[in-house]
Amino acid sequence: MNITKISFEKNRFTVAILLCLSVAGVISYIQAPKAEDPGFTVRTAVVVTYYPGASPQRIEQLISKPLEESIQEIPEVERVRSQSRTGVSIIYVDVSERYTDMPPIWDEVRISVDNTRRSLPEQIIGPIVNDRFGDVFGTIVTVSGEGVSYEELEEIAKELRERVIATDEVASVSLHGVQDRRVYVDYSDERLAELGITPYQLRELIRAQNIVLPGGEVFTEWERIILGPTGNFESLEELQNLLIPLPARGEVLFLQDIARVHMGYQEPAQTHVHTTGKPAVAVGVSLRDGGNINILGDDVKEVVARYQQELPIGINLDFVAIQADHVRDRVNNFGINLIQAMVTIMAVMLISIGFRMGMVVTSLVPVTMLTTFFVFLLFGIGIDQVSLASLIIALGMLVDNSIVIAESTMVLSAGGLSPREAAIRSAKELGSPLLISSLIVCAAFLPALLAEHSLSEYASPVFWGVTITLLLSWVFALTMTPMMAARYLKAQPEGGADEFDTPFQRWYAGVLHFFLHHRVMIIVILTVSLVGAFYAFQLVERQFFPNNDRAVITVEMEYAAGTRLERTRDLVEEIEAFYGGPLEDSVKTWHSYIGGDAPRFYLPFTPEPPRSEYAVMVVNLTHQRHIPEVINQTNAYLEKHHPEVRVRARPLVQGPPVDAAVEVRISGSDQDRIFEYADLVRDRMRSIEGIYGVRDDWGPWTKQLAVDIDEARAKAAGITSQEVAISLQTALTGLQVSEYRGADEVIPITLRSDLAPEGHVSKLETVSVYSSTTGRSVPLQQIANLNLEWTPSRIMRRDLARTVTIQADAYEGFNAIAIANDLDEWLAQESTRWAGGYHYEIAGEADATTEANKAIFDKLTISALIMLLLLILQFNSLRKTFIILLTIPFGLIGVVFGLIVTRSIFGVMTLLGVISLAGIVIKNAVVLLDRIKIEIDENGLEPYQAIVTASQRRIRPILLTTLTTIFGLLPLWFGGSPLWESMTIAIIFGLIFSTILTLGFVPAMYSLLFKVDVPPLPGKKQKA
């Protein structure tokens, strides 16, 4: 089927299709789902188990270890990481990157956890499997007000949640900073002793009365009637009026006569939220799968605006994060870059090849772009910075097909064919080579799609965008371009002296003759230059992914484990005052999560589990240029006034998250031995220039009071170890004894001593321990001794072994990967002196980069084989294929030169750019070698003259392709995000050098491998 001929025969239908595709493209762009980034699957679930009061060691042995061993047996699970802290086990389940269908795997995890649950202690709460750990709550609204209680803020936040979740684009809504409510029954030890009743008896009476149990059923002749005994507390008054019998005194009293019954918040509080210095409750909103973030943003804004009007003056609903605005700004910015690239390319073409031919060629650009948006929508590809950048990358290449067809049409028309016949013949002769050339470029981007890594999900739109755009441009080059060329281009005389009789062509011919006569020397020089480029590559800074250019930073602060939340809150308030004072011109707003529990407001941000010693602030700056200033001043302030605080202030990252720039993991069995080696590594890292904040993930060791029970004295008093633990918990923090069922929530009823709100250590020994056997109590100091011990604040495990990770961040301008490599060399020697069973791993950016690069190189073989087969299919020649493949590594000379002179980085996206460069280089070389073949076979030229003539004929299309690609990428370099800067630099400089190779090295290699006789230069005698 000849689609060119059909397009001529059905020209009006062809035009109608082109118009329909263009309109469909505009509509598709408007309707397509939009995002800042394409995103990636968070292949991690979290299993949380609570065991109140248990030490990290007991949590590890009784909970973390059994669950880890069970979960690790699941085939799809790549690794299991755990964190055992006082009272809680947190296990992270990481699934292998090659799996994408996560729900069945999470079902397996749940089954595994449920099966293990029977072997865990009875007193635990959980395990709770959270497989929505990766949900992003990109829209955050805070509820605040002067003089407004937390209860009122919570009610307003809950009402807002109900209204927001009713909108169409919302998946879920989370609340943060909500204080858990409790019904407290506070008793006095003296009062209970006076009445002759123990806390144990009080607990059992409350439990016995507050029941929700069926009473059985009775039958009539025709019916079955369920019996429902009353007894559960319907109101706080019912609990206060609970009758408490006093056998020792023969009396009955109300519970409120014995203890103080009241509603309150959990003490101590678990988390707080501040918005620009004011207490608040945060409402996080996540987008449904396949939803439109812009519609979500508009809906939430409308709901908030309407609800704000109903609220009293003084209560504020403030947006602290609006993902829709960031997405709109990012998409608009890249849309402008795309338009700039299109206009630039069209201008270059019009100036370079004249108005008529320029219009014929460039008319392809807008139609191809709009049709690409339509295909994007059909295949479910969203509009984001990656997909738009892929179109910018493809822009310069897509006009090449049109240029070749248009030029050939002009030449054939000059040879006597009618414009229509010339166009049809050009498309027929060049359709196959152009398709193969386009497919070669597409194959170069294939590793971005096939890599078994989260990077593939992030970068795969690059492959789809380039592939769809180039293939559409090929189709339009065989249909639209011939029609326009036949109609608007005027035939020009082909060949002759005039064609090459221009100053530029004469200069190029002289250069080409020099290359051909000194081909061996040129090859040697290029080989030496390539070796030098490999050595010079060591000067290029390497980085996994660059930071995001959004004017937002996160500030994480952490005291030693066990620090009270009040102290952490005081620290945050001090930093908030600092931001509102000296830095008020740089800082716009902020929201603080004291005690953790921050939502994942941005996909690469990994929220920390709640703990009292930790806080994170999300700070919105007035401009991106203030990021280094605010980070440096924050670090300096905390280092000066609070050196004991671990601080990590950093901009938002892009791509898959990395915990720290430089990381070393040390694993083994014995805790003391692990820390002996970890201390050596820590000291080494502190001596390295360029990194700071050296720390380990176990955190500072913390105090623990061990209650050593004297079994003999406890047995004599009729007291068990369980009664000691229950008495301590009741007296100091409170013991949950039942539940109060309100209208829409279940609130724990907590029995506690009136000492509990203070819980001062000086009162510990006076705590009364009650015996259920004797009914009497004895002071704790009579049956137990208190010993102060130092214990890890948390125990970290990885792949079933205890693991300490030493971490550090890198200063701006220092190469974290190079530092990690130097550290690896030192550790390779140092670890030879370690005991058996202990080993280290380099992690951080170095490990993440290695994994991503490996995933790409693993699939690069497939890409290379496809390109190789396409080349052999095109030429049916191994020597020509070898010539083309040989040009690829020499292009690295230009890449390294460009990265060094621009002081850019080499990251994962840069690697994809280098790989894609190979496809562009091959495409140019294919066109040149194909022309040499035509000059020899069809025009009957001698090989040497064929090389010169073909090179001169192809120099204009090759240079135009290079220029259009370079000018198309300039907006992406200077106006895009940092994610694309190094990639565009690599392509631009690599393409410049590769173009020189194509026009000089390829002819020289062809003449060498095909043993072409080279005539002497004018004025020189030929050597014998």
Q: pLDDT of 721-744, one tens digit each?
A: 777 777 777 777 777 777 777 666
Q: How confident is the model at residue 303 (pLDDT cuts 50, 70, 90)?
A: very high
Higher pLDDT, 715 or 415: 715
Task: Give CA–CA dist 349/54, Å, rounded.
Answer: 73
Q: Amino acid identity, residue 683?
A: D
Task: Choose one of 114, 133, 152: the last residue of a domain.
Answer: 133
Mean confidence (pLDDT) of the chain: 83
**What local confidence, expressed as pLDDT, does residue 125 receive?**
84
**What local confidence, expressed as pLDDT, does residue 211 receive?**
65
Give me the mean pLDDT over the 28-44 stretch: 80
Looking at the domain assignment, is residue 182 inside a domain?
no
> Nearest to residue 273, comparing CAs of 261, 284, 258?
284
Strands 587-594 and 260-265: what pairing? Answer: unpaired
**What local confidence, expressed as pLDDT, does residue 496 receive?**
44
Contact 1008, 908 (CB under 8 A): no
Count the Cβ atoms, other than its own, within 10 Å of residue 205: 17
Task: Choose one of 133, 157, 178: the last residue of a domain.
Answer: 133
**What local confidence, expressed as pLDDT, does residue 48 receive?**
92
Task: Give CA–CA dist 165/119, Å, rounded.
Answer: 39
**What local confidence, expressed as pLDDT, does residue 486 receive?**
80
Looking at the domain assignment, is residue 623 inside a domain?
no
**What local confidence, expressed as pLDDT, does residue 472 receive?**
93
Q: How confident is the model at residue 42 (pLDDT cuts 50, 70, 90)?
A: confident
Cα-based distances in Å from 511 to 259, 351, 501, 993: 101, 25, 15, 15
**What local confidence, expressed as pLDDT, does residue 108 receive?**
92
Looking at the domain assignment, is residue 533 inside a domain?
no
Check which CATH number belongs to the domain holding 753 and give it: 3.30.2090.10
Give me the mean pLDDT over the 288-316 stretch: 87
**What local confidence, expressed as pLDDT, does residue 497 receive?**
44
pLDDT at 873 over 60: yes
How is 104-167 classified by DSSP, letter by letter? HHHHHHHHHHHHHHTTS-TT-EEEEEE--TT----EEEEEEETT--HHHHHHHHHHHHHHHHTS
pLDDT tens digits, 44-69? 899 999 887 788 888 999 999 999 99
Contact 439, 870 (CB under 8 A): yes
Give me the mean pLDDT over the 273-279 stretch: 87
pLDDT at 375 over 90: yes
**What local confidence, expressed as pLDDT, does residue 664 receive?**
92
Q: How confident is the model at residue 806 (pLDDT cuts 50, 70, 90)?
A: very high
Give me the mean pLDDT over the 121-146 stretch: 85
**What local confidence, expressed as pLDDT, does residue 759 receive?**
52
Task: Give CA–CA dist 535/83, Å, rounded.
Answer: 43
Handedness of CA 187, 188, 193, 195 (dihedral sign): negative
Give me the mean pLDDT over the 560-583 stretch: 87
Q: How confident is the model at residue 105 (pLDDT cuts 50, 70, 90)?
A: very high
Radius of gyration over every alpha carbon of the chain, rounded to an integer in angstroms: 36
Looking at the domain assignment, is residue 988 inside a domain?
no
Task: Choose one of 762, 792, 822: the last residue of a domain.
Answer: 792
Q: How confident is the model at residue 356 (pLDDT cuts 50, 70, 90)?
A: confident
Give the range of the structural domain holding residue 760, as residue numbers without chain letter.
198-213+227-257+702-792
Give me the mean pLDDT over the 468-481 stretch: 90
**What local confidence, expressed as pLDDT, does residue 570 receive?**
92
Looking at the domain assignment, is residue 914 inside a domain?
no
**What local confidence, expressed as pLDDT, does residue 667 receive?**
92
Give me the mean pLDDT over the 195-210 stretch: 78
Task: Give CA–CA dist 235/105, Å, rounded.
Answer: 44
Q: What is the DSSP letter of 602?
A: S
Looking at the domain assignment, is residue 778 inside a domain?
yes
Give me the mean pLDDT over the 61-88 stretch: 91
**What local confidence, expressed as pLDDT, does residue 1023 receive?**
43
Cα-based distances in Å from 374 to 2, 32, 39, 472: 25, 9, 21, 11
H or E element at residue 54? none
**What local confidence, expressed as pLDDT, does residue 1016 receive?**
74
Instruction: Give pTM, 2 decimals.
Output: 0.78
- Cβ burial of 313 (10 Å; 0-12, 13-18, 19+) is exposed
> Nearest to residue 550, comparing CAs of 782, 333, 773, 815?
333
Three-state DSSP state, 804: strand
Higher pLDDT, 75 or 746: 75
Task: Give CA–CA dist 439/467, Å, rounded.
Answer: 8
Give me the mean pLDDT over the 113-141 stretch: 86
Take residue 363 and report the two structure tokens written for it. 């008319």
Angle at 43 between CA 40 and CA 46, to 5 degrees: 130
Check which CATH number belongs to the domain holding 119 and give it: 3.30.70.1430
Looking at the domain assignment, is residue 743 inside a domain?
yes
Percentage of the chain beyond pLDDT 70 is 94
pLDDT at 163 over 80: yes
Q: How confident is the model at residue 71 (pLDDT cuts 50, 70, 90)?
A: very high
Q: How confident is the model at residue 811 (pLDDT cuts 50, 70, 90)?
A: confident
Strands 905-906 and 541-542: what pairing? Answer: parallel
**What local confidence, expressed as pLDDT, does residue 1024 receive?**
35
**What local confidence, expressed as pLDDT, does residue 775 receive?**
67
Percentage of the chain beyond pLDDT 90 is 14
Tokens 């299991």 found at: 80
pLDDT tens digits, 701-725? 887 777 788 778 888 878 887 777 7
Higher pLDDT, 846 or 212: 846
Of 52-56, 215-219, 523-527, 685-689, the poorest mean pLDDT is in: 215-219
Tokens 């769809």 found at: 468
Q: Amino acid identity, residue 841?
A: E
Cα-based distances in Å from 632 to 91, 593, 650, 892: 34, 21, 10, 37
pLDDT tens digits, 897-941? 988 988 888 877 888 788 778 877 787 788 788 888 888 887 788
How far is residue 873 CA from its own chain's centroid?
40
pLDDT at 1022 over 60: no
Give me the mean pLDDT over the 99-105 stretch: 87
Task: Give CA–CA dist 43/92, Å, rounded.
Answer: 10
Q: How confident is the model at residue 765 (pLDDT cuts 50, 70, 90)?
A: low
Take residue 799 and report the two structure tokens written for it. 């792949």
Give me the mean pLDDT over the 840-846 stretch: 88
- Domains identified in the chain, total number: 2
